[in-house]
Structure 1
């Protein structure tokens, strides 16, 4: 095992998961706790986040920080909380973000700025805080970003240029940082979900989208969590975008 491994038999690793008060982020936090890790959760609504953290159990291995990642101070507080509460940090999962369809010519400048700020800028700033701390620790680390398969395969019936272009920036950031941070033992990868059953689709017949994938179904949040945990542990994988989409990009059923 390398000296910069994020796994160790002598200490409990710590993961920071942004956007973890519900949906994919909450399940990722649950998966890390089940694997024995400490977890620092994040979300914009303090009450909702506190309830989510309480529902996970394991209060001795759970902390949370309310705030938007679009604010640099939120990322810095997440890192400081991990260091102060658990004595270190090992994994950052950049899950927080926003996504909503809108025809291209209907997108306002304010809406475009919102997607770029919350999806790309927020991920960028939070990652900066993590990398500074990881370098100071000197034992490497793992960053897993959450993108989207719509970067590689658009849908005519689902116009979402503004959020997709912001997520494309996250895909590009993953590739660039994998090269830049390799010398520090920091691996940077990305999970690109297809259509997943989450609160994002509340009120919609999400299963009707199953036919867009070769496996003829939508994904579950647990399947994204499994991919994130794999990349967090995969010591010879960096700069990789792992599609978890049931074959959405490859073809259609």
Structure 2
């Protein structure tokens, strides 16, 4: 499906899932603005997304900072004229026993996973309301939220990503009659730079199908939701069966 001329804002776009989504959307004709905390990584990602630079721009910084969130939305409007899609991909995952989490862990995870989502999404929705249309895709999580594993204690991921699942449905209902759809992709553990290669064999065993997710699995889900005009409020599990139950 072509997304010719559409404009997408993608957080966490310098690597992994976010960069792969940007590459796919540009291939299909969209313009993208990517965000990440490391400017040099963003520069390199932007070159990979579109070597010509015609269909890509970037804003570096922490999206929990209101000024960064504002600049990200402004860049999409100034460079490409509107915002059709927001992909909330930026996130932090830390697994450790509950009582071992520090104040710094708490602050960093909530700032990105919750405050960053809130600030960018609120600004994007304001622009989508003016246009009478738009689509938001939240990248949440599956296993740690809906089928917690004793071997992978990660309550702050459950708290924040589970909150995004709930927010997805709440926003979908609030804006359904305004032309704005809101959906989520809940991945299993996906092969990205976040997970060292030597952990892949163990992490594969945490999925009923016996393998980790590939980045393309998540990209395909985002593309489906972007094209599925009658779908809103959906939490699309792309998790190798994790959410289905114990195994």
Q: TM-score, normalised to structure 2's length? A: 0.94
Give the secondary structure class of the aligned counterpart of 2:194: helix
For 2:47, the equivalent position in structure 1 comes to 54
Q: Which of 32, 38, 48 in structure 2 is aligned with 1:39? A: 32
d(CA) in 1 for partners of 2:47, 2:80: 18
Return the offset for 1:70: 0.5
Q: Is the 8 A contact 2:5 2:29 kept in 1?
A: yes
d(CA) in 2 for partners of 1:43, 1:61: 17
Structure 1 residues 11 and 26 mapped into 2: Cα distance closer, same or farther (>3 Å)? closer
Residue pairs, 1:93-242, within 5 angstroms: 93-138=87-132, 140-149=133-142, 150-242=144-236
Return the offset for 1:203: 4.8
d(CA) in 2 for partners of 1:9, 1:240: 22
Return the offset for 1:251: 4.2
Q: Report Cα offsets for 1:150-170 as digits up to 9, x if no partner.
A: 210111111111122111111
5+ residue gaps, structure 1, are: 1-7
5+ residue gaps, structure 2, are: none
Return the offset for 1:209: 2.1
Q: Is the 8 A contact 1:18 1:25 kept in 2?
A: yes
Q: Is the 8 A contact 2:3 2:30 kept in 1?
A: no
Return the offset for 1:59: 1.1
d(CA) in 2 for partners of 1:159, 1:246: 20
For 1:21, the equivalent position in structure 2 comes to 14
Return the offset for 1:252: 5.9
Return the offset for 1:195: 1.1
Q: Is the 8 A contact 2:213 2:239 kept in 1?
A: yes
Q: Is the 8 A contact 2:145 2:157 kept in 1?
A: no
d(CA) in 2 for partners of 1:164, 1:111: 14
Is 1:89 the counterpart of 2:83? The answer is: yes
Structure with larger RCO (C-alpha < 8 A, sep 6+)? 1
RMSD: 1.7
Give the secondary structure class of the aligned counterpart of 2:122: helix
Aligned length: 245
d(CA) in 1 for partners of 2:171, 2:240: 27
Q: Report Cα offsets for 1:13-62 as digits up to 9, x if no partner.
A: 01110001001111111111111100101100011110111122241001
d(CA) in 2 for partners of 1:56, 1:165: 32
d(CA) in 1 for partners of 2:163, 2:193: 24
Q: TM-score, normalised to structure 1's length? A: 0.92
Give the secondary structure class of the aligned counterpart of 1:219: coil
Return the offset for 1:205: 2.2
